[in-house]
A = this chain, B = another copy of it.
């Protein structure tokens, strides 16, 4: 939880920096809202028991509830983030950060705007986040559904096979082109020469120069869809250059993304190397952020089919938790689970009343303070507790101190002790702990 809090702090402050408000939706949706949105993965949806009333399911992601929310509240324009848990009846893989209940962190921009400006901001956010999380070097692959569809068309894929061939292409980050081609031809009945034509395209990746090259491509330029997609990517790269992140972006024709609802630009961020110490097992973490444009989803929930164009991103935060946790373990860095600044302790017996009076003063002044819940704790036990819990300071009350009107303030790390006048204690503790305890 301490690691999670650190990661969420970084993510939330980035989303707020980009002017997003936060919304929340219920953990369950009407079952019908989720039906037909996730293709084959629908079998992974958790349903609630029919106990009377509406039929409900636990949310599978945050995008479909967001689209439902926009349509239901007739919102045509919002920039929001949403951090919440989603549910999938899947086989968990703990080390890879895959669970049945897991967090998603989504940022989306809904509304009719001039092309590629919000899309570029989404990519900027991904770059800012992955940089500030310091989880290693990364690359953001970019493609466009219209380019993929145009490419399938000019290669000779029948319309009815676009989605299933798209799924095959999507596997190229895990398996070789030979295997993907084999699936296309043997399992999905594509002619070998059609598959080869696809292969020529999907093995290409590069920067804006590849966009320009493909705009001149004699075959691909025959597809109006592909031209639209390429034109938008050209504009996108212009904006990404102005944002100073073009070097982090790779136009990759093999990027397909699983979900059906994307209609334009799609992207996926991958770590280039896993940030573990030499000799350790590397993490198979795959993509750490992804998203794209989905202009049709909100219309599916509107009775009149009114469309609200959307573009967004989702951070693979469970994977990031795993990486940060393993990195901290590798560094043998102990993460504090509390933020306590001072333990109120006593040097002799019969001082519980004095400890209670002092700790109330500290709490009331906003100091994070603890005491041991014992009438007469030994000083050694109190100091040991500080060591274990990482509490940096001890305020020690003794009979002599009470007479003198002072408190002995001890630094746990240096073991130095100084007498501080009681009326100066709060300021002195604040001064000594003004550095954030969690960096």
* Contacts from A to B (Cβ < 8 Å): 1-2, 4-5, 16-24, 26-28, 46-51, 53, 58, 85, 87, 89, 101, 109, 111, 113-114, 117-118, 120-121, 124, 128, 238-239, 242-244, 337-340, 352-353, 356-357, 360, 363-364, 366-371, 373-375, 389
- Please give the count of copies of this chain that the complex contains: 2
Complex: A389 Cα to B20 Cα, angstroms: 11
The answer on a CB contact under 8 Å between A124 and B17 is: no
Across-interface contacts of A20 in B (CB, < 8 A): 338
How far is it, in angstroms, between the C-alpha of A253 and the C-alpha of B50 when the chains are bound?
Answer: 42
**Do the beta carbons of B21 and A338 come within 8 Å of each other?**
yes
Judging by beta carbons under 8 Å apart, are B242 and A357 in contact?
yes
On chain B, the residues within 8 Å of A357 by CB distance are 242
- How many Å from the CB of A320 to the closest CB on chain B? 16
CB-based contact A17/B366 at 8 Å: yes
Q: A48-B47, A49-B47, A49-B48 in contact; A17/B369 too (CB < 8 A)?
A: yes
Given A51-B89, A124-B363, A128-B363: A117 touches B19 (CB 8 Å cut-off): no
Complex Cα distance, B370 from A121, in Å, reads 10
Cross-chain contact A374 with B113 (CB below 8 angstroms): yes
Q: Which of B16, B24, B49, B242 contacts A368 (CB 8 A)?
A: B16
Residue of B nearest to A366 (CB): B17
Q: Are B242 and A117 in contact, with the CB atoms below 8 A?
A: no
Could you tell me the distance between the alpha carbons of A121 and B363 in the complex, rounded to whole angstroms? 11
Chain B neighbourhood of A367, CB < 8 A: 17
Complex Cα spacing A2 to B16, Å: 12
> Once the chains bind, are A337 and B21 in contact (CB under 8 Å)?
yes
* A373-B243 CB under 8 A given contacts A23-B1, A101-B27, A363-B128: no
- Please name all residues of chain B whose beta carbon is closer than 8 Å to the beta carbon of A51 when the two chains form the complex: 46-47, 89
How far apart sit A357 and B53, CA to CA, in the bound complex (Å)?
53
Instruction: State whether A114 and B243 are in contact (beta carbons under 8 Å apart), knowing that A48-B47, A51-B46, A368-B17 are contacts in the complex.
Output: no
Decide yes or no: A368 and B19 within 8 Å by CB, A49-B50, A373-B118 being known contacts.
Answer: yes
Sort A-B residue pairs by CB-CB distance and give the 5 closest, nearest first: A113-B373, A19-B370, A21-B337, A47-B49, A242-B356
Q: Identify A49's interface contact among B2, B49, B239, CB under 8 A.
A: B49
User: Complex Cα distance A19/B386, Å?
Assistant: 12
Of residues A26, A47, A242, which shows the largest number of chain B Cβ atoms within 10 Å of its Cβ? A242
A26: chain B residues within 8 A (beta carbon): 101
Q: Across the interface, which residues of B come within 8 angstroms of A356, CB to CB? A: 117, 120, 239, 242-243
Most buried by B among A4, A49, A238, A373: A373
**Contact residues in B for A5 (Cβ distance below 8 Å):** 22
Using A51-B47, A101-B27 as known contacts, say yes or no to A16 and B369 having CB atoms under 8 A apart: no
Q: Are A363 and B27 in contact (CB under 8 A)?
A: no
A22 engages B1 (CB within 8 Å): yes
CA distance A244 to B49 in the complex (A): 50
Provide the bound-state CA to CA distance between A20 and B363, in Å.
13
**Distance, CA A338 to CA B107, complexed state (A):** 14
A295 to chain B, nearest CB (A): 14
Chain B residues within an 8 Å CB radius of A113: 373-374
A85 touching B369 in the complex, CB below 8 Å, given contacts A18-B363, A49-B47, A360-B242: no
A367, B128: Cα distance in complex, Å: 13
Chain B residues, Cβ within 8 Å of A128: 363-364
The distance from the CB of A397 to the nearest CB of chain B, in whole angstroms, is: 13
